[in-house]
Structure 1
Amino acid sequence: MKRMLLSRLDALNNKGLHLVAKLLTGGAVNFETARKKMKEVIKQSRFLRDQNCDQDQTEILMLLYHLINSPQNFRENCLALANSTFQSHHSAAIQVLNGLEDLPTEALLAMRRKLSGVPASIPCLLKKKYNRRRDSVIHYIRNTSEKMLSETGGGEELQEPLAKSLAIAGLSVMQTSGSLNSSVTDFSQFSPEIKVLQNEILKAIWLLGKKKLKLQEVQTLQLLLDPNANVPKGSLRTAMNKLLTEYLFECSEFNTIPKPLTEALAIINRSSCKSRSGCHPKEQIEEEVECILGFKF
């Protein structure tokens, strides 16, 4: 529901924006409020900012669903356009499922975690060996995803676990293509801040793969990201690459972005930003990423 709301904000007319903002703030919005301000109020509402806020709020969810699916709350022809976006997501989802065999095992395991609702955790260098066979993982992803797709109409929003799982496939395609310009479907509709962070992680992965960093620099990365891991020097570069891949797949789920990750990206991508202490709230990701990249949105 949250992703559907965000995807339709621009298509809502002023009346629709006002009704949604009024619902999510308990009536603390005037109709005279500027359109831009109403959109900001909606984005900053507890409903969208708190991942657990939509639990046990059946009445609000039902009212919200009605508001963002009522033609009178949309600009002319915009509701049909919004529905066509979800239709394209369904078609793209089928293409992803048809190509599961081409995806790396790390991506498949991450997709399985998203479908199963496994909470994100901070990645580590030495992971427990996964005993499931690759073909059984593919079978689970395909069957579970196809079942979810069958439960939604072509113009309806994909279920959140499915959207998150399919988004992993898109990130994996970008990683293997070596290009940030890959035309992949934005199933999960990541925020601009998270997209920039993902791009920085991708560039770091590519630089590691091209052996642009000296071994001493890679060892410094280990001290930052997983100082207690005992990894042989000959395997350290590969292990670090896999670790960053895990961060790529999981960073959108973090409530805080760990300082060691931003420091590691600064080292790999030759950023000159100064290190900061502590972890940063998700709403401050933009500021942290600005530090990494050296520019502002």
Structure 2
Amino acid sequence: MKRKMMILIIIIMVILSAFAFDFRLKVVNYELKSNKIETSIRIALITDLHSCKYGENEVELIQAIDVEKPDIILFGGDIFDDVISHENSIYLLEGIANKYPCYYVTGNHEVWSSEVNEIKTIVKSFGVTVLEGTSEMIQINNSKIQISGVDDSSIFKLKADGSSVITELEAIKGNIDQSVYQLLLYHRPQNAQQYLSYGFDLMLSGHAHGGQWRIPFLLNGLLAPDQGFFPKYAGGLYNFETSKLIISRGLARESTRIPRIFNRPELVIIDISK
């Protein structure tokens, strides 16, 4: 009996380990409604790639995006890393930037690389719009949306003019048309409450890596940068009275010192309809 019990325990542990350390890419879908939208818009949110590898020349990630057929792609920071070569990030841009309208904001690791200006130049060279306290009004089918984005807060330590994320948000504020669906792209999610007053319908973020370790249905995330243990904003959909926040758990794999547990890397797909 003891032998059978030991075998059963080992089998259970093996099965749990297989799920716990599953680093395969998955697609996570969100469906949102708004009276500001006439025809459905599909957004792909990509964050925290950290130049990690998804097949030869990033083919796995590129194919996953193509299958979903997004109308636009948003890069929510840390697409490049401060340690790993930029090669895989460039492969990704090569594979998708000529197919979809793309928008990008910086993350802290791009700033830490000491090459943030060079990275922005690379991103722009593929026709990707870099949002840095700026907005762009776009029309998809019969729907208009206004996409705004701010730099990561760490970039302002390199500037001597006293500017900040709030400076960029205030610059955006003067251009916001509240009759149009308003979207904010930024990297660090923990300041969501502070940004609610600017009137964005949807905020998109990354950075938290899903809290790194999760326990399905019990613990959304154990530890996240800037938030510490049991972070309030780890990953998923957060509803506020006048806005929503979606946080991607990101795509980092080999770049993380602590392995992800019950926390598969994700490509986020958001459908917004009337």
Structure with greater helix percent:
1
TM-score when normalising by structure 1: 0.24
TM-score, with normalisation over the residues of structure 2? 0.25
- Bigger relative contact order, structure 1 or 2 (CA pairs below 8 A, ≥6 apart): 2
Q: Larger radius of gyration, structure 1 or 2?
A: 1
Relative to its length, the structure with more strand (as a share) is 2
